[in-house]
Amino acid sequence: MRKSFLSDSLILGVFFLLCVLLFWPTIFKPFLSDDYEVIYRVVIQKQLLLKGFFRPLSDLSIYLCSLIGGLYAPVYNVFNLLVHAASCFVLYKLCLVSELFPPAKRKFIAWTASFLFLIYPFHVESVVWVVGRASSLSNFFGFLSLLTAFSRIRAPWRTFLVCLFYFIGLASYETIFPLPLIILILLYEPTRPLRSYLPLAAAMASTLVLHIIVRVSLADTFAGQYGQKIFTPSVGGYLVNAFKVTGRLFLPPSGHSALLSVLFVFIAGGLIYTSYRVLRSARDCRLLFGKLILAVLVSAIIPFMFGLSTHTSEGDRIVYFTSFFLMLWLAFLISLVKDRFVRLTVIAGLSIYFLVFLFIGNMHWQTAGKLTKQLLGEIGQIRKHYSSVGLLDIPDEYKGAFVFRVGFQQALLLNHIDTAGVAILRVMTSEEASQVHETLSPQKKTNGFFLQPNTDLTDSLITVVEPVTFDTVRYSRSSFEKLFYWNKAKLLPVQ
């Protein structure tokens, strides 16, 4: 027992050390966007429950971080890494403890799946963004529930713990809703009577119903602000979402949709062909192969309904849950390849591919942190000289890494900057910024100036067209003593 505990502790420590090394560039980044809004509400206002939104577990973890490190951002960032390392460890243990895999392959699959999950680059938002922990924290308890379902704990206690961990995880994010079905799929054995699954199925269904009752009672809603989006697409819209999400599970975001589609078809074809080749000679593994494929598909139900950007990494926290089962399936598929050299070559190739895009993702979040810090510093200096300031083309994100999507006023308050008279009149997306190759500057017009990407300035009026919604908003110029705009490098006054 003691030896096993020490061994497990060492492996968990290795995963955490790898997380620190791989995500080092993001540890010292400041809070970003929604971070400020949530931290101000939870830490300053001491408000853990919010009507229309249900994230009590994530909020409690943020409050815990504030007790440990105050408002020192690296404490919050390291907590995220701990959660990610713990999830990798649970995946490792699941492969060893469960009887899913042949004994001779378990250790290979455990190390391969957990390592690939650790370096997987297309769910990085869950790992490096402070409030992105809502996803990883929820999923960790979901994974713990799954691990417990395969443990040797006596049935009544095992069922209780499976449901308890599921209930705790549901208090942070919605992607683990389909977990009961995944557990039943992975536990399924053809020789076992179907009625033997009923007690666990009933217990988990009751847990989900209890969660919904608690959720609606405390938050006055089931779906909430974000969740409403999942009920709006048509059947065709869901199919498009499914195609996009499946592609993004394997490919980085890009503005070249046609290229992504071609690459995805190529990758999908390669995986289907490889699966056919290895399963033709490994007939006894077909049931497990199918169960793992089903687990991946069921875990992707919420992402399929919600959708995912193919242009930037924004929102990729929604596939953290799915990536767990995807890496499990990939590791199993690789283990079925008989040639050891080919197996190691595939793992090396995947690792290089993942690491390259992981470092790119880290750079995006690091840049977003630098932009946030620079903007707050410049606004702090500007505020000392002007009583009312209007800000134009403030970046709301950098290639999917959030800057000031929301939380601007709270960011000012937490950085001791007077908020009176300071307002963002228009934000600029990274897609808009990429379309302007040089630094921005107002262009002279007959009756004023035009500021890219979509702002008209006259002596009396400021007219902006919002990104995404394309709503037109007008402000009186006399409301602001001075206007400043972000020229993609710094804040400059509008002359």
Between 221 and 108, whose confidence is greater? 108
**In sequence order, which residues have a C-beta less than 8 Å from that of residue 484 and are 6 or more positions away?**
382, 389, 390, 391, 392, 491, 492, 493, 494
Quick one: average pLDDT of 234-257?
86
* Calpha distance 347→349 (Å, rounded): 5
In the prediction, which pLDDT does 321 show?
Answer: 96
**Tens digit of pLDDT for each residue in 125-142?**
999 999 999 999 999 999
Distance from the Cα of residue 294 to its chain's centroid: 22
* pLDDT above 90: residue 367: yes
For 188: left if phi > 0, alpha if psi spans -120 to 50, otherwise beta; the answer is: beta
- Please report which confidence band the pLDDT of residue 453 belongs to, taking 50, 70 and 90 as the band edges: confident
Q: Which amino acid is at 135?
A: S
- Please report which confidence band the pLDDT of residue 413 belongs to, taking 50, 70 and 90 as the band edges: very high
- Please report which confidence band the pLDDT of residue 433 belongs to, taking 50, 70 and 90 as the band edges: confident
- Please report which confidence band the pLDDT of residue 366 belongs to, taking 50, 70 and 90 as the band edges: very high
Instruction: Delimit the domains of the chain by residue range.
Output: 11-336, 365-493
Between 182 and 99, whose confidence is greater? 182
| % of the chain residues with pLDDT over 70 | 97
| 422, β-bridge pairs | 389
The pTM (predicted TM-score) of the whole model is 0.93
In the prediction, which pLDDT does 439 show?
Answer: 77
Give a three-class secondary structure readout of the chain.
Answer: CHHHHHHHHHHHHHHHHHHHHHCHHHHCCCCCCHHHHHHHHHHHCCCCCECCECCHHHHHHHHHHHHHHCCCHHHHHHHHHHHHHHHHHHHHHHHHHCCCCCHHHHHHHHHHHHHHHHHCCCCCHHHHCHHHHHHHHHHHHHHHHHHHHCCCCCHHHHHHHHHHHHHHHHCCCCCCCCHHHHHHHHHCCCCCCHHHHHHHHHHHHHHHHHHHHHHHHHHCCCCHHHHHHHHCCCHHHHHHHHHHHHHHCCCCCCCCHHHHHHHHHHHHHHHHHHHHHHHHHCHHHHHHHHHHHHHHHHHCHHHHHHCCCCCCCCCHHHHHHHHHHHHHHHHHHHHCCCCHHHHHHHHHHHHHHHHHHHHHHHHHHHHHHHHHHHHHHHHHHHHCCCCCEEEEEEECEECCEECCCCCHHHHHHHCCCCCCCEEEEEEECHHHHHCCCCCCCCEEECCEEEECCCEEECCCEEEEECCCCCCEEEEEHHHCCEEEEECCCCEEECC
**Tens digit of pLDDT for each residue in 167-220?**
999 999 889 999 999 999 999 999 889 898 999 999 999 999 999 999 988 877
* Calpha distance 76→66 (Å, rounded): 8
Indicate the average pLDDT of the chain. Answer: 90
In the prediction, which pLDDT does 159 show?
Answer: 94
* Calpha distance 134→126 (Å, rounded): 8
In the prediction, which pLDDT does 5 show?
Answer: 80
- Please report which confidence band the pLDDT of residue 227 belongs to, taking 50, 70 and 90 as the band edges: low
- Please report which confidence band the pLDDT of residue 228 belongs to, taking 50, 70 and 90 as the band edges: low
* pLDDT above 80: residue 364: yes
Angle at which helix 73-97 crosses helix 133-149, to 10 degrees, equals 20
What would the two tokens of residue 261 be?
């589609």
* pLDDT above 80: residue 111: yes
* Calpha distance 313→91 (Å, rounded): 24
**Tens digit of pLDDT for each residue in 350-363?**
999 999 999 999 99
* pLDDT above 80: residue 304: yes
Between 430 and 124, whose confidence is greater? 124
Contact 121, 354 (CB under 8 A): yes
* pLDDT above 80: residue 349: yes
Quick one: average pLDDT of 24-45?
94
Quick one: average pLDDT of 447-464?
85
CB atoms within 10 A of CB 189: 11
**In sequence order, which residues have a C-beta less than 8 Å from that of residue 457 and are 6 or more positions away?**
442, 448, 449, 450, 451, 463, 477, 483, 494
Quick one: average pLDDT of 8-22?
95
In the prediction, which pLDDT does 231 show?
Answer: 59
CB atoms within 10 A of CB 459: 8
In the prediction, which pLDDT does 230 show?
Answer: 62
Quick one: average pLDDT of 243-266?
87
Quick one: average pLDDT of 283-294?
89
Q: What is the phi/psi pair of residue 53, to 5°?
A: -150, 140
In the prediction, which pLDDT does 99 show?
Answer: 85
Task: List Cα–Cα distances, 139 to 117, 260, 318, 359, in angstroms.
Answer: 13, 28, 10, 23
- Please report which confidence band the pLDDT of residue 402 belongs to, taking 50, 70 and 90 as the band edges: very high
In the prediction, which pLDDT does 432 show?
Answer: 82
* pLDDT above 70: residue 233: no
In the prediction, which pLDDT does 437 show?
Answer: 67
* Calpha distance 184→198 (Å, rounded): 10
Contact 179, 145 (CB under 8 A): yes
Instruction: Label the pairing between strands 397-398 and 422-428.
Output: unpaired
Contact 139, 57 (CB under 8 A): no
Q: Which of 464, 467, 465, 486 is nearest to 477 (CA)?
A: 464
What would the two tokens of residue 333 be?
């598929």
